[in-house]
Structure 1
Amino acid sequence: MAVLADSDTRWKWGALTANRIAPSAPGIPGDTAGGADIRLDGFLLRGRATPTARQLGEVGVTADSLREVTAVEFLRAMREEPYDLLVLSLVGGGVQAMLHGLKRVWEDRPRRPVVVTGYVGVVYEKLADGLLLRHGADLVLANSRQDADRFRAVYEGVGADAGSVTEVALPFLGGAPYTGEHDPYTVVFAAQPSVPDSRKDRTYLLNRLVQHARRHPEREVLLKLRSKPGEHTTHIEELPYQKLSQRLDLPPNFRLVYGHMGEVLDRTDLLVTVSSTAALESLHRRVPTAVLTDLGIREALGNHHFVGSGCLASWDQLDAGHRPEPDEDWVARQGVAADGSYDTAFDTARERIAKLLARPGGLPPLTPYYTPVTAPGYLPGILARHHLGPDGTPLPGAPAADKEPGPVRQIVRRAARGAYRHGVQRVAPVIRRMGEL
């Protein structure tokens, strides 16, 4: 099987999902799943968020092979290398481009892999847009019962086939359940790269976290970060907390930490976030979890997704000792599976894939909802960003190297990425501030 991903978090989701849903996968053994007889080839789509070696190591998911590719190089590999299962773990536009490209490269093949896609975490924005860009895959995975209902409603509402929607759960849930307070009591704030996005709001949250550490010197207070300055993940981070914290006098019980979220949760007594998927990981393990309301409950923040969860709280309440109690019905609808049902969460997907692979005569061509007929003003631009024409054929001059780039090309590529990240994290904020004068 193969996975194509465009960031560290999507690689984690894609690889773990592939292991969970492979027809020969023996259930859910531990946190990483999969069987020893399953080969996994990873492809990292070259772009602004291509993960670094450090990020890949932190994710902790291994593959039998892993290489960086352009879209056209990937399509060439899919034409030449046989697979049973392909997971597209990309942004919506990337999924749509690959679906059209794969339809083209497989048009003369008697058999093709089962194509699967889905979402890395909570779906709180661009529901219709993202879903329709993913339509055409054999399975569109929904991480919860609520998402499955919403996904089917969108597809049926536009007259698209909703049969691909398959309910599963987030593939990285797991770990030992919370059994009681640690020594020292540990509060963890799970930071997000783009939520909130303003300096004022991010500074406010950092200050409140530091104040909490000062008010509770007996506690350990951790700021859990996703990436180091200069690295990119799923979303662009213009104002890293690391840089904001350099201006503060930090108390001795306050620390910045990286690493696997599961390992951090092993020692967490209270998980605090604005809207991170880490909240679902925490709830799955029954760790006390707070979703902040300090900046309002707003769609732009994503914390509106947690309305009804029982987890909404402010820093003032947390400072005073409040510990949110999650609503069990809400938790059950979110695919958290804290009731022990996680062991069977991927059974339906596995069974559907096995049936598709056993289909006599192979699978029919991929049929995305968007075509040059249904979206003539939208689809060509999406395909062109990946150097594909309206019919999924590579455009003239599309980058498609036959071998690994030479040392000079690698140096130029690293320099270009560094310049882009410098522009995002240094130049863009300055220009924005100047525009506000």
Structure 2
Amino acid sequence: MTPRGDRPGRMRVVAIADADSFVKWAAALIDSAPAVSPHLLLVKTPLVVSVAQEHAALSGTGIRPEAVTRLGYEGLADWLMHDRPDVVVVAGRGPFVRLVMRQIDRVSPRPVVVSGLPGISIPAQRGAALYRRQCDLMIVHSRRERRAFSDLADRLGLSLRLGLATLPFARPAPVPSAGTDLVFAAQAIVPQEAADRVALAGILRAAAHADPSRRVVVKLRSRPDQGETETHFERTELTELLRDRPENLVFSYEPMGVALARAEGLVTVSSTAAIEAMARGVPVIALDTFGVSKSLLNTVFVGSGVQGSAEDVVARRFRVANERWLRNNYFHDPAESTWWADVEELVAARRRGDLPARPVPSPRGGLLHEAWQRKAVLGSEDRSAAGAFAMAIGAPLVWAILRARRIFGRRGAGSWSDAATDITVTPARYQDPIVRRVRSPLAAVVMD
């Protein structure tokens, strides 16, 4: 750990993350900040990246291996008090952000706290805003996201300062791609229904059969057989559905930038990889075979010109997004990305004593509810008796609440069923297991 006195003139920025997509985002974000001394803390949770995933996430950044530290949750406050960073970027799902913020509340001097989401964030979700409302700055990546989260904060009565950034890993390629691969950016929960995932596997298989001379590359983020996890839990695994596949249909675990360097085009339902591809000049198909809805996270592509059908995928009819859509979605003028100026302003205010801390309030339900929140994030890393007791009581209750939301979820303006708006004022309706190796609905947390 580098003492603060050894880095004169450079602002100290520490990112705290666990899951793969958030590690990638946080590393690229702090690497893009000018004149800083960056460090990455990887907190041990059931979602923490493997060493291989860590290397893939850091690919393309200047963050060196010695600037990465793995530690347990209980050691966070002491580490931060010793390191004394100016800025902490908390990068994780909402419950993770809230839990880490509790440790930051113990740190003096308290750093400026920044958070955000690792890619496409349309619709702006209720949970994403609520879990991050104690942060000093929440980063968004497009004009459209800024409008959506501003509207959402107003509807929820939140004070949420937003900073606009260019999506940090959406960078032009040094050399334009002249590849021949059809790269499919897989997502764990999109589409979610088992029948849709079977159909998706069929589309990929058909694309491979249509031209045996060119590859179909299924870009994956984790190897479950090696104990790796990712941000969301895949109940119907594409690798299982594609056990019987032609030789030119292959799986890839390499960094997305490497896969795109060999790509003729990229296919996805709603992955942020589409934005990475566009930045590199790789054409895209946003597959709309399974519909267009907030639950599929693909309403953002309406009007882009890149939506296409299964037949388009098989025929490799890739598209280029129109300029108007690009300016509104992730490709604004870099001069509009003022997030770092916002951070510098906040740091100056904190040093003057003009920026009050925004501590996480104690949960309703007291110590038992707090124990549940810890266990829900840390899983087996939390070995407390209180956590085990809270999980035994709380998990069935959460499962029942989520089931009721799916059945009786509110409809109307701003809900998940309202495709005409870019926000969701209603809670999320799905669940994600804490213990990834146990396919039990009783181990669940609420999504952002």
Q: TM-score band, normalised by the shorter chain? A: 0.7 to 0.9
**2: CA distance, partners of 1:152 / 1:422:** 38
How many angstroms does 1:420 deviate by?
4.1
- In the aligned structure 2, how far is the partner of 1:224 from the partner of 1:318? 16
**CA distance 1:66–1:181, shift in 2 (3 Å):** closer
* 1:200-227 Cα deviation digits (max 9, x unpaired): 2222111211111111223222111111
| Matched residue, 1:20 | 32
- The alpha-carbon distance between structure 1 residues 43 and 58, as it changes in their structure 2 partners (threshold 3 A), is same
Which residue, out of 336, 341, 355, partners 1:364? 355
Give structure 2 stretches of 5+ with no counterpart: 1-12, 377-381, 388-433, 442-448
8 Å CA contact retained: 1:178, 1:286: no
Q: C-alpha separation between the residues in 2 aligned to 1:398 and 1:192?
A: 34
Aligned to 1:241: 238
In 1, are the aligned partners of 2:289 and 2:309 still within 8 Å (CA)?
yes
Q: 1:395 to 1:274 in 2, by over 3 A?
A: closer
SS class of match (1:222): strand
**Which residue of the partner structure matches residue 22 of structure 2?**
10
Shift of 1:259: 0.6
Letter in 1 for 2:261: D
Q: Any idea what SS the aligned residue of 2:217 has? A: strand
Where 2:88 maps in the other structure, the secondary structure is strand
Equivalent of 1:146 in 144, 147, 162:
144
Deviation at 1:58, TM superposition (A): 1.7
Offset at residue 384 of structure 1 (A): 4.6
C-alpha distance in structure 1 between counterparts of 2:223 and 2:293, whole Å: 27
Structure 1 residues 212, 395: CA separation in 2 closer, same or farther (over 3 Å shift)?
Answer: closer
Change (3 A) 1:353 1:325: closer
What do residues 113-140 of structure 1 show as CA deviations (whole Å, max 9, x unaligned)? Answer: 2211000011245612211210121211
SS at match of 1:55: helix
The Cα offsets for residues 291-344 of structure 1, whole Å up to 9 and x where unpaired, read as: 11111222222122211111111111333453323122112111135xxx44x4
| TM-fit CA distance, 1:86 | 0.7
Which residue in the other structure is 1:410 paired with? none
Equivalent position of 1:133 in the other structure: 131
In structure 2, the residue corresponding to 1:131 is in which secondary structure?
helix
For the residues of structure 1 that align with 2:115 and 2:435, how far apart are their CA atoms?
28
TM-fit CA distance, 1:277: 0.7
Query: How far is the alpha carbon of 1:271 from its aligned partner?
Result: 0.5
Q: C-alpha deviations, 1:8-50, integer Å up to 9, x for none? A: 22111112212223xxx1xxxxxxxxx5xx4333222222111
How many residues of Structure 1 are paired with residues of Structure 2 in the alignment? Answer: 371
Equivalent pair of 1:46/1:68 in contact (CA under 8 Å) = yes
1:227 to 212, 222, 240: 222
TM value normalised by structure 2: 0.75
Residue number among 188, 195, 202 corresponding to 1:193 in the alignment: 188
Alignment of 1:339-354 (within 5 A): 341-342=333-334, 344=335, 346=337, 348-354=338-344
Q: CA separation of 1:225/1:96 partners in 2, compared to 1, >3 Å: closer, same or farther?
A: same
TM-score, length basis structure 1? 0.76
Aligned to 1:291, what secondary structure does the other structure show? strand
CA contact (8 A) 2:288 2:307 kept: yes
In the aligned structure 2, how far is the partner of 1:195 from the partner of 1:40?
Answer: 33
> SS in structure 1 opposite 2:259?
helix
Give distance in 1, aligned partners of 2:339 and 2:361. Answer: 27
Q: How does 1:266-305 map to 2 (within 5 A)?
A: 266-305=261-300
Distance 1:422 1:312, change over 3 A: same
For 1:67, the equivalent position in structure 2 comes to: 69
Letter in 1 for 2:263: T
Match of 2:330 in 1: 335
**Corresponding letter in the other structure for 1:194:** I
Task: Tell me if structure 2 keeps the 8 A contact 1:178–1:287.
Answer: no
Residue-by-residue CA offset, 1:79-123 (whole Å, 9 max, x unaligned): 3331111100011122223334423x14xx4x4322110000112
CA distance in 1, matches of 2:103, 2:174: 43
Aligned counterpart for 1:165 among listed residues 147, 162, 185: 162
Q: Distance in 2 between matches of 1:241 and 1:172?
A: 25
1:398–1:68 CA distance, 2 compared to 1 (3 A)? farther
Instruction: Tell me the CA shift for residue 260 of structure 1.
Output: 0.8
Secondary structure at the aligned position of 1:269 is classed as strand
> 1:384, 1:84 → 2: CA distance?
31
Conserved in 2, the CA contact under 8 Å of 1:271 and 1:279? yes
Partner of 1:78: 80
Q: Does 1:306 align with 2:301?
A: yes
Distance 1:187 1:381, change over 3 A: same
Aligned with 2:437: secondary structure?
Answer: helix
C-alpha distance in 2, partners of 1:273/1:159?
35
SS of structure 1 residue aligned to 2:104: helix
Q: Distance in 1 between matches of 2:151 and 2:203?
A: 40
Residue number in structure 1 paired with 2:418: none
Alignment root-mean-square deviation, CA: 3.0
Tell me the distance in 2 between the aligned counterparts of 1:55 and 1:279: 20
Do the aligned residues in 2 keep the contact of 1:72 with 1:398 (CA within 8 Å)? no
Q: Deviation of residue 350 (structure 1)? A: 1.9
Distance 2:48 2:183 in 1: 27
Superposed structure 1 runs of 4+ greater than 6 Å apart: 377-380, 394-399
Output the CA distance in 2 between the equivalents of 1:232 and 1:74.
Answer: 22
Secondary structure of the 2:438 match is: helix
Quick one: distance in 1 between partners of 2:186 and 2:31? Answer: 28
| 1:176 aligned residue (170, 173, 189) | 173
